[in-house]
Amino acid sequence: MSRLDPDKQARLMIRKPLVSDVEAIRELINDSAELGKMLFRPAAELYEHLRDFHVYEQDGRVVGCCALHVYWKDLAEVKSLAVESQLRGKGIGKTLVRAALEEAGRLGVGRVFALTLETKFFENLGFERVDFDALPLKVWTDCVKCPRKDCCDETALIYSLSQDVSTT
């Protein structure tokens, strides 16, 4: 965020969430779920996985969120990416995904995938399409429990961290 003017920089922040942010995260995710863009997430699940998240705060309010879930030593998933509806298209989602990719790099994870209906968004960030068969850990741990498992319309994409996250 160093490219922002000091006044704007003070109002914008990506950070790790607090337990007090769970309700805002839940609302963001469930608003997107109502539009059919992702699955609903109960508050209990969000508390359990709170440390997976980053939040985007603007003027003291959480207006975006994104989680990075590590599956194995070389594989993590970007998930639960949601931005307040009136702020979509302003780079918040891109900034959150980049923060997740940077965290994956710090953790030493080599590849990050996303299952999404927003294929172009992720392709513009350097993710490439793959078959679901390339993600057996995801399929056998989460997809088998998904209510859409028999009619999944998401696309699987993967990002190799050998790419430079800061320039993508």
**61-110 pLDDT per residue, tens:** 999 999 999 988 889 999 999 999 999 999 999 999 999 999 999 999 99
* More confidently predicted of 11 and 41: 41
Q: Average pLDDT of 136-148?
A: 54
Reply yes or no on whether the pLDDT at 168 is more than 50: no
Residue 127 contacts by C-beta under 8 Å, 6 or more apart in sequence? 113, 114, 157, 158, 159
- Is the whole model's pTM more than 0.75, yes or no? yes
Backbone phi, then psi, for 15, in 5-degree steps? -150, 170
Reply yes or no on whether the pLDDT at 132 is more than 50: yes
Strands 75-83 and 111-116: parallel
Percent of the chain residues topping a pLDDT of 90: 60
Domain boundaries, the chain: 6-167
| Residue 143 DSSP label | G
Q: In the prediction, which pLDDT does 92 show? A: 95
Per the structure block, which two tokens stand in for 126?
């350097």
Q: Minimal CA–CA distance to 74: which of 32, 116, 134?
A: 134
CATH number for domain 6-167, candidates 1.10.1200.10, 2.40.10.10, 3.40.630.30, 1.10.1760.20: 3.40.630.30
Q: In the prediction, which pLDDT does 147 show? A: 54
* More confidently predicted of 67 and 5: 67
Q: In the prediction, which pLDDT does 77 show? A: 93
